[in-house]
Structure 1
């Protein structure tokens, strides 16, 4: 009974994560500027990957697989925000950001 519930929850998490990853991909294609695309590429995609990893962990349930899933989650959470920050700063410095759309421009003085 417990394995059946875990399998169904794992499937639910996998579908939810896939839908969030799909939403992130659509956002990257449809959003007009770099900062919006960067937001779409990191926020829902990171949560989507974590949901997929949770679904995989619920389906596999072996200690070695859970360790690998945990490593993937840690690296995903460590690299996606840093990459988004670097892309945003590079876009700002190269003049690809419409500064009229910014509510607060903390880099304007530099």
Structure 2
């Protein structure tokens, strides 16, 4: 069974990973060819991720023993956003690769 300390350490590492991912995406956005729609969607995802992060941190600060269903729900939303961000990053890299191949051909 996972202790509270282990649980919160894992959660904190997930939040750190999300923060790094968002930072990397912002760096890519500044240097990559994004359409207006892509930027709007990326900003919406960033804002949603920040909201969830803020809620998670607030719930972690107030967490007590037992199951906190709201915290679990926020964790699942956070994991879902991490997956979306990873998929988005992968599709951008794939698009960039094909753009480069089209330039060569």
Structure number with greater Rg is 1
Q: Give the TM interval when normalised to the shorter protein.
A: 0.3 to 0.5
TM value normalised by structure 1: 0.43
Name the TM-score, length of structure 2 as normaliser.
Answer: 0.45
